Chains A and B, each alone.
Chain A
Amino acid sequence: MTNLIAQLRKRETSGVLKTSVQQSAIADLITKAYKIRSQAPQLAAKKVAILPSPIEDLIVGLLAFDGFCEAIYLCPANTALPPVEDLHLWSFTSELSVEVKSTTTSKQTTWYMATSGTTGKPKWFGHSFEALTASIKYSDNLQKQSWGLLYQAYRFAGLQVVLQALLSSADLVDVTGHEPINQVELMALHQVTAVSATPSLWRQLLMTQQLDTLPLRHITLGGEIAEQALLTQLSRLFPKAKLRHIYASTEAGVGFVVADGQAGFPTKWLDNPSLPIELDISEQHHLLVKPQCSVESDAPLLLNSKGFMDTQDRIEIIGDRVFFLGRATGAINVGGNKAYPEKVEQVLLSCDAISQARVYAKKSAMMGELVAADVVLRSDPLITQSDVSMIKLQILKECKKQLQRFEIPTKISFVDNVAYNPSGKLNRQSIGKQHD
């Protein structure tokens, strides 16, 4: 059992935290963390919420509380506090002056992070330090890196960047909260060599036309589907850089890295028990992962009989490659406009004739995706085919009244029932059972 501060003390901590306004040696932040422990002994073995703070304070808090408290809740801005009893809120307002001998403790701390659910209500998932740092790499080469932080450090992806920089004694350059053009300038100023960002963020950085001013050696994409065109563009711009895209599931606390510069991942990774992370494909063509380390959550993970969790990420196998298609429950991207299935379903259900509705994405060569719907009619044995056609027109009329054009289903199928997945959610995979 180890913790962040103990891990950092094992080696020389030469890393520096840089922001647009200041620079701090990580070694100094460690000293500050010990001060907090000695000044706030009442927090030992307690649950602590780290409220939105500047990056320096956040790192000091993580150093102080991991291995000292029972749990750390990373509370991002604009997110409701976790519904936890005896939670101590920590906001770094008090000035630290007294230096007391460091408190030693071997407490195993759980780190809780919020994920934004489809309903907007955050879900909290807890991870051990070991699980969070399982994919962190150490090497002399990595020590020379300078990491750009573009993600909020309170979220899973951002925390990974912070931990990677801290644990490999690399520098960390915080550029969150700046416009893309300033982000690139700031990263160029501090000679950032390693950047992890979502494909959308990478596209924004590319649009500045100045990304090639950075001496990038490590390029990481995560959080969204990394399509081939973007990977190719980045590898052309930075032929010497290591190009990786990451798949991570916050719920399952697992992730894997694809490093061959190709979209998707090798088909042979499916159903291969010898891999560190076991992957499989469900009957609905969802990616299944086997949670490795125990994840703590108020909503228990739903596992199948083999211990796999459904990620709700739709995948497609083409030859020796598995490609991601999108979220089974997520928004439908109609030529850049996002249509939310729940919203369209509510409109459909407001039609008298409909008892159940399921809205999903339908592939379109022109717009990427279009909205499609399966509906179940209220039972009426006397219903005729011409009634069904009439009902369809009425439904479309209602949709036109309440929805934007791109949200109106382009295909409405009348079915006997709509499919639900094991978690009781509507199954929005794009295969409808035709009734008529």
Chain B
Amino acid sequence: MNLEQQIKDAMQQVAELSDCQLVEPIEANTLLLECGLDSLGYAMLVAQLEEDLGFDPFTELAIETYPSTFAEFLAIYKQCKSNQ
């Protein structure tokens, strides 16, 4: 499974656990804050992805500005994965 799909699956899982409804479809320029997850939802998503992928780029790369679009979020994970 590619990274993009893994992230989308994890988003779905978190949304179900949080009783949130994700927007359809999520595209590259979809704003994260408009995806349907709140700040706790994103924290849960990052934790879930750490479980699935084995890394947390927000801790490992000490990212100071948070991504605003899905594409930016994905890029951070791609960058961190290539560093692994």
Contacts and interface: CB of A to CB of B under 8 A. Distances in A.
Interface of A: 334-335, 362-367, 370, 372, 396, 400, 405-406, 408, 410-411
A335 B43 CA distance: 10
Interface string B33-58: 00000011011101110110000101
A370 to B, nearest CB: 6
Interface in B5-58: 17-18, 39-40, 42-44, 46-48, 50-51, 56, 58
On chain B, which size bracket covers the interface?
A: 10 to 19
Contacts of A367: 39-40, 43
A372 B47 CA distance: 9
A38 B59 CA distance: 66
B58 to A, nearest CB: 4
A366 B59 CA distance: 10
Main secondary structure on chain A at its contact with chain B?
mixed
Contacts of B17: 396, 400, 405, 408
A245 to B, nearest CB: 26
Nearest to A409: B47
Interface of B: 17-18, 39-40, 42-44, 46-48, 50-51, 56, 58-59, 63
Closest 8 CB pairs of A and B: A410-B47, A365-B58, A366-B43, A367-B43, A364-B43, A410-B44, A370-B47, A365-B59
Interface residues of chain B: helix, strand, loop or mixed (majority): helix
Nearest to B62: A365
Contacts of B63: 365
A372 B56 CA distance: 15
| Most chain A CB inside 10 Å of its own CB: which residue of B42, B47, B50, B58 | B47
Contacts of A362: 47
A411 B51 CA distance: 7
Contacts of B46: 364-366
A364 B47 contact: yes
A417 to B, nearest CB: 21
Contacts of B43: 335, 364, 366-367, 370, 410
Contacts of B44: 370, 410
A135 to B, nearest CB: 38
Contacts of A405: 17-18, 40
A408 B47 CA distance: 12
Given A410-B48, A411-B51, A366 B42 contact: yes
Contact of A335 (B39, B48, B56, B58): B39
24 contacts: A335-B39, A362-B47, A364-B43, A364-B47, A365-B46, A365-B56, A365-B63, A366-B42, A366-B58, A367-B39, A367-B43, A370-B43, A370-B44, A370-B47, A372-B47, A400-B17, A405-B17, A405-B18, A405-B40, A408-B17, A410-B43, A410-B48, A411-B47, A411-B51
